[in-house]
Chains A and B, each alone.
Chain A
Amino acid sequence: MKKTAMTGTEAVANAMRQIDPDVVPAYPITPQTEIMHGYAKFLSDGKVTGELIRVESEHSAMSASVGASCAGARVMTATAANGLALMWEIVYIAASMRLPIVMSVVNRALSGPINIHCDHSDSMGCRDSGWIQMYAENNQEAYENAILGMRLAEKARLPVMSCLDGFITSHAVEPVTLFEDQSVKDFIGEHIPDHPLLDTDNPTTHGPLDLFDYYFEHKRKQSQGMFDAKSLFKEVAAEYNQRFGRDIKELEEYSMDDAETVIVALSSTCGTAKVVVDSLREQGKKVGLLKLRLFRPFPMNEIKEALKSRKVIAVLDRVESFGAFGGPLFSEIRSALYESGSPKIVNYIYGLGGREIDTKMIERVYEEIESYKNKEIEEYIKYLGVRE
């Protein structure tokens, strides 16, 4: 298959072209807008058959997505930062109604102060909203996660957030291999909605009032849906890998075989960290990188297995979790390792509002945590790249 140079947003738009959803409600916000520009162009050129609904806000974009999905449509949308924040109420509703909507989130810092650049405060803010969350390292993964995500969403009857780093991934031009259109269509298959509203021969009620006598049971069922999504991810990934010749797992273990000093991170930072790992390995250092491609449902057992015998771990969070003991990735990974006992683990908050993270900074992290092999960690939560 041939590689084509394109931006991350173009890559996602191409996934949308191949998936060809029935309904796409959208509202523009930087840096997401170009995904919808791309999709709208495909629509104008007659390359897709869906309906693009231009709504008046993100709250309406998610509301229209919920309505269309209840009706029985295959639905995709995209947003970023404050747009996602405005959707908030309906984001929870989409998950609780078990609607398989796929939304690309182009990660951007939440205001304030106002900032348009990358961090994960938007999607991490709704990590407990009941959406499956996948994070892409590069344009290729942004494209592929949308495709895999669509199949997973419809199998798990849960919405999927397919996250890519704002500007770093969304606007960078990289070579991307697009699969054959037909192959993607075959993989996605036909959408078979669960009791759609447009099935007027079998009328059903969606989203009714649910008080103290049933709400808890419905939440328990929703929770089970998320637990079940763990094994469904494996099933869908197996089908995907076979069809497209990939090796996608919940986690990517990079140079981890005998690694003693490990960085755990999400998204584009992993690409930078891989360069550092390669150069430190050349110097004979036992360093590795663990990338989470799937964050929700949290791949607890896989993470435990990958990290339990390491000496020192640095978890990189591109988000501040105010008042918590560390960022969300750190606190969950630390909790996953509670019974393993041995690895020392430290948190670095970095890259807020698009602050650059380069190879030198990551090198410094490896150096610093290497020293914890022989000494106590004096500070568990560190800030990487902030001016003192």
Chain B
Amino acid sequence: MSADSKKPGWKDLPDGGKILKPGNSKEYKTGDWRTFRPVWDKSKCNHCMICWMICPDSCILTEDGKRKETDLNYCKGCGICAEICPMKCIEMKKESESE
């Protein structure tokens, strides 16, 4: 990766690589690590929420006790949700083949 001029230069960084502001991991969008994307078939889902419990990155979004879309900003595509889903309503598709 080349030097990015939008990021701060070395003189503006805290000593020792410290991060001085808490709660900043949200700023790090780990979703771009993903090779496979979980594609959710809403029509087959019974909202058992097992995927919500098991997701290691808390990427299963919910509303009023119902499963919503996956948060692709942080989903690394591990596929655990697809593996655990009793309704088989999540399919892992190659990033290059989805959308």
Tell yes or no: B54 within 8 A of A by CB. Answer: no
Interface string of B1-16 (1 = CB under 8 A from A): 1011001111101111
Q: Are A217 and B19 in contact (CB under 8 A)?
A: no
Which 4 pairs of residues, A with B, have the shortest CB-CB distance?
Answer: A98-B16, A217-B10, A205-B19, A220-B10
Tell yes or no: B17 within 8 A of A by CB. Answer: yes
Residue in A207, A210, A214, A221 whose Cβ sees the most chain B Cβ within 10 Å: A221
Contacts of A217 in B (CB 8 A): 7-10, 13
Q: Are A214 and B13 in contact (CB under 8 A)?
A: yes
Interface residues in A179-232 (C-beta closer than 8 Å to B): 194-195, 202-208, 210, 212-214, 216-218, 220-222, 224-225
Q: Which residue of the partner chain B has the closest CB to A212? A: B1
Tell yes or no: B22 within 8 A of A by CB. Answer: yes
Tell yes or no: B18 within 8 A of A by CB. Answer: yes
Tell yes or no: A82 within 8 A of B by CB. Answer: no
Contacts of B20 in A (CB 8 A): 195, 202, 204
Contacts of B10 in A (CB 8 A): 216-218, 220-221, 224
Interface string of B54-75 (1 = CB under 8 A from A): 0000000000000000000000
Q: Are A195 and B18 in contact (CB under 8 A)?
A: yes
Residues of B within 8 A of A (CB): 1, 3-4, 7-11, 13-20, 22, 24
Interface string of A94-109 (1 = CB under 8 A from B): 0011110000000000
Q: A195-B18, A204-B19, A205-B19 are in contact. Are A221 and B1 (CB under 8 A)?
A: no
Q: Out of A204, A212, A225, which one reaches B18, CB within 8 Å?
A: A204
Main secondary structure, interface of B, reads: loop
Report the Cα distance A382→B16, complex, angstroms: 41
Tell yes or no: A157 within 8 A of B by CB. Answer: yes
Q: Are A205 and B22 in contact (CB under 8 A)?
A: yes
Report the Cα distance A99→B16, complex, angstroms: 8
- Distance between B13 CB and nearest chain A CB, rounded to angstroms: 6
Q: Are A97 and B16 in contact (CB under 8 A)?
A: yes
Q: Are B17 and A218 in contact (CB under 8 A)?
A: yes
- Distance between B6 CB and nearest chain A CB, rounded to angstroms: 10
- Distance between A101 CB and nearest chain B CB, rounded to angstroms: 12
Q: Which residue of the partner chain A has the closest CB to B20? A: A204
Report the Cα distance A225→B15, complex, angstroms: 9
Q: Which residue of the partner chain A has the closest CB to B12? A: A217
Q: Interface size on A (CB < 8 Å)?
A: 26
Main secondary structure, interface of A, reads: loop
Q: A205-B19, A205-B22 are in contact. Are A213 and B13 (CB under 8 A)?
A: no
Report the Cα distance A67→B32, complex, angstroms: 32
Report the Cα distance A205→B17, complex, angstroms: 9
Q: Are A221 and B22 in contact (CB under 8 A)?
A: no
Interface residues in A212-268 (C-beta closer than 8 Å to B): 212-214, 216-218, 220-222, 224-225
Q: A205-B22, A213-B4, A217-B9 are in contact. Are A195 and B17 (CB under 8 A)?
A: no
Q: Out of B1, B4, B11, B22, which one reaches A203, CB within 8 Å?
A: B22
Contacts of A205 in B (CB 8 A): 18-19, 22, 24
Q: Which residue of the partner chain B has the closest CB to A207? A: B17
Q: Which residue of the partner chain B has the closest CB to A220? A: B10
Q: Apart from A157-B15, A218-B10, list 11 A-B contacts with CB within 8 A.
A: A97-B17, A97-B18, A157-B16, A194-B18, A195-B18, A204-B19, A205-B18, A206-B16, A213-B4, A214-B7, A224-B10
Residue in B1, B9, B15, B19 whose Cβ sees the most chain A Cβ within 10 Å: B15
Contacts of B22 in A (CB 8 A): 203-205
Contacts of B11 in A (CB 8 A): 221
